[in-house]
Structure 1
Amino acid sequence: MSNIAILVVFALLICSSSVANSNRLLSRQFLPPPLTGPESLAFDSVGEGPYTGASDGRILKYVGPSDGFVEFASSSPCRNKTICDGISDFSEIQKTCGRPLGLAFNYQTSELYIADAYFGLMKVPSSGGSPTQVVSCVEGKSFRFLAGLDIDPQTGVVYFTEASTTYQIRDLPTLLRSGDNSGSLVKFDPCTMETSVLLRDLAVPSGVAVSKDGSYVLVSEFMANRVQRFWLEGDKQNTSEIFLQLPGKPDNIKRNSAGDFWVAVNNQVGSPPPSRPPVLPLAVRVDGNGFVLQEVALVEEYGTEMVSEVQEFNGKLYSASLDVSYVNVFMP
């Protein structure tokens, strides 16, 4: 199916009644105040969680409705609780306290890997606590702004994105107005300890997801309104192609147990409200061929706020956002 055809199908679905109403919200899992920004979510090998990063550099674990989120780890190796606890997003102190974004468990080792916007690729043991820095640079250049993260469950290979080599997360509003395309898709192999760049010149790459069979990896380009596919195996190995063109800004991508992908899609940055009833932000489920299988409108939950991630787990959808203080849980 051509990319143009995929876009047409997507547009038809958006204009039809097939877009699910967002009236099946089950619960909201609030972060301890005044924390904000549960940008990405992860579940461990025994199904506990979600785990999420927060604005003050901590990783939190949801343990149930009574206790909510509790501290599990941090993404800064030298975090000072007195200085860091409770700080807000885009604070200058974040470069010391850390800002965890992408999260993923290596189910072979039970370690939690973290794409920290300032410190690079980090990991913590299954018991949590202080992190170990895995990778801080590639090709001799220190990372400026790591964002998305996924791990191949069969090989343990880590794929992550550097949103920009010019700007940092504290410069996010400027970055989104800049037309910057210095981002990249990066691979880290824990067996060889080698780090390599797979794709360059990406327009704010935000999300990344490995296919169920490990033959390719998807990467979203937030400012290019598209998702690219990079082939890891087969006749097209080491080449890329447009997987999905979208009418909005794609953020994180998450694979479900069936091998489909959920993409969080947002309105154009700075765009005026549309004349027809808004359908963005939106959760979009696509198969391995880029066919749109399902859409769930999220405008009632988030309004004009951005949705960073939608993840399916044990029959429920979990949505996250850099702009709010809670995780939404609803039926797909």
Structure 2
Amino acid sequence: MAYINTLLIMFFVFCFPSMVLSESFRSIQLPPNVTGPESIAFELATGRFYVGVTDGRILQYNGPTVGFVEFGSTGRNRTKTMCDGITDPDLGPMCGRPFGLGFHYATNQLYVCDAYLGLMVLGSGRRLATPLSTGVEGVPYRFCNGLDVHQLSGNVFFTDSTTNYDLRNASKGLESNDSTGRLLMYNPSNNRVTVLLKNLPGPAGVAVSQDGLYALVSNYNANNTIRFWLRGPRADTYEIINFQARPNNIQRTLVGDFWEAAAMVKQSTQTLVPIGQRISGLGLVLQTVNFERWYGNKLISEVQEFRDALYVASPDVDFIGIYSF
């Protein structure tokens, strides 16, 4: 009988992956007066993780005993007196605003997409991020957003959501259906940035497949996700693989599929609520988790799987969520 019950449970999970048998949620509180964790980067060996917050700092989480400590910052003219704890976006160009984060494990470098200051990197023991690129082809980055590091090549893929609006007035880009975003790649071997795609409608997140064959890019303004081919017979072409409201950061899992932060319309109120979706490289939805219970109508920016749990980031809260199932 126990064997039959086990088979039934396995059948249920396999056939209905978006339905959860049991779930739990807890949160890790950020330090006082700190808000806006946009993205998360993990150290695989230690389990420590890093988040960029509204006031320009990058915090390192060292477990419940130590908690968060300041690891670094992006603003070169930043002062603790002027910047620590601020939420004023007008101070962003001075204090910095880290968005996308990604580790290259072989070199132990943390790459950062600062919304105002462009592509940057932090090495071991460095407290101030080093600028790598502030623009390409004569066009400055206006809203450096999502980032992913391909571990085998070391290449850094990132998005510039628009060439017209910075973070302070990004809502205008959404209202005007701005389609000036770009997908870019930084090659650390020659310190060059290449434009892979132009004229994208608000590209937010990016994630590269394990084999480096393609990259998934979420178009926030157009409510879709595309697959851009990096190599092979379809190189330099793309196709839309998924439609979902307000797709944001995308994170690859160890088994090769992806978690994407997004939203869905709540039918009773016709408002958007936050969800995470696990999708395949084909765009097939494998699992959906609704986070409305814990975030209300605050949208999330990232869902990342680590050690059998989902770590959730949102620019509108003061904690990191941990969802277990």
Q: TM-score, normalised by structure 2?
A: 0.91
Tell me if structure 2 keeps the 8 A contact 1:117–1:144.
Answer: yes
Counterpart selection for 1:191 from 189, 192, 201 = 189
Q: Take 1:104 and 1:204, find their aligned partners in 2: how far apart are those partners?
A: 20
* 3-state SS of paired residue (2:94): helix
| Alignment map for 1:119-138 (pairs within 5 Å) | 119-138=117-136
Could you give the per-residue CA deviations for residues 155-208 of structure 1, whole angstroms, max 9, x where no partner exists? 000000001111111113333222111111011111122211111111111100
**Equivalence for 1:4:** none
Q: Take 2:135 and 2:79, find their aligned partners in 1: how far apart are those partners?
A: 24
Tell me if structure 2 keeps the 8 A contact 1:19–1:297.
Answer: no
Tell me if structure 1 keeps the 8 A contact 2:273–2:298.
Answer: no
1:292: Cα distance to partner? Answer: 1.4
1:291: Cα distance to partner? Answer: 1.6
* 3-state SS of paired residue (2:267): coil
* 3-state SS of paired residue (1:281): strand
Q: State the structure with more CA Rg.
A: 2
Pair 1:79–1:231, CA change in 2 (3 A): same
Counterpart selection for 1:223 from 211, 221, 224 = 221
| Alignment map for 1:78-157 (pairs within 5 Å) | 78-88=77-87, 90-157=88-155
Pair 1:316–1:176, CA change in 2 (3 A): same
**Equivalence for 2:277:** 284
Tell me if structure 2 keeps the 8 A contact 1:262–1:283.
Answer: yes
Could you give the per-residue CA deviations for residues 305-332 of structure 1, whole angstroms, max 9, x where no partner exists? 0110000011110000011111001114
Q: Take 1:19 and 1:294, find their aligned partners in 2: how far apart are those partners?
A: 4
**Equivalence for 1:42:** 41
Q: Take 1:144 and 1:289, find their aligned partners in 2: how far apart are those partners?
A: 30
* 3-state SS of paired residue (1:306): coil
1:50: Cα distance to partner? Answer: 2.0
Pair 1:107–1:171, CA change in 2 (3 A): same
* 3-state SS of paired residue (1:87): coil
Structure ranking higher on relative contact order (CA contacts 8 Å, 6+ apart): 1
1:249 is the counterpart of 2:239? no
* 3-state SS of paired residue (1:250): coil
Pair 1:181–1:277, CA change in 2 (3 A): closer
Q: Take 1:331 and 1:315, find their aligned partners in 2: how far apart are those partners?
A: 7
| Alignment map for 1:21-36 (pairs within 5 Å) | 24-36=23-35
Tell me if structure 2 keeps the 8 A contact 1:218–1:229.
Answer: yes
Tell me if structure 2 keeps the 8 A contact 1:79–1:97.
Answer: yes
1:91: Cα distance to partner? Answer: 2.2
Pair 1:316–1:140, CA change in 2 (3 A): same
1:75: Cα distance to partner? Answer: 1.3
**Equivalence for 1:314:** 307
Counterpart selection for 1:212 from 210, 213, 216 = 210
1:48: Cα distance to partner? Answer: 2.9
**Equivalence for 1:237:** 235
1:223: Cα distance to partner? Answer: 1.2
Tell me if structure 1 keeps the 8 A contact 2:263–2:272.
Answer: no
* 3-state SS of paired residue (1:176): helix
Tell me if structure 1 keeps the 8 A contact 2:76–2:94.
Answer: no
> What is the aligned length?
311
Pair 1:70–1:243, CA change in 2 (3 A): same
Pair 1:130–1:27, CA change in 2 (3 A): same
Could you give the per-residue CA deviations for residues 200-246 of structure 1, whole angstroms, max 9, x where no partner exists? 11111110000011111111001111111111111101111112122
- Which amino acid letter does the alignment assign opposite residue 61 of structure 1? Q
Tell me if structure 2 keeps the 8 A contact 1:21–1:297.
Answer: no
RMSD: 2.0
* 3-state SS of paired residue (2:178): coil
Q: Take 1:154 and 1:306, find their aligned partners in 2: how far apart are those partners?
A: 32
Q: TM-score, normalised by structure 1?
A: 0.89
Could you tell me which runs of 5 or more consecutive residues in structure 1 were left unpaired when the two chains were aligned. Answer: 1-15
Could you give the per-residue CA deviations for residues 254-302 of structure 1, whole angstroms, max 9, x where no partner exists? 001000100111246xxxx522798841111111222211111111111
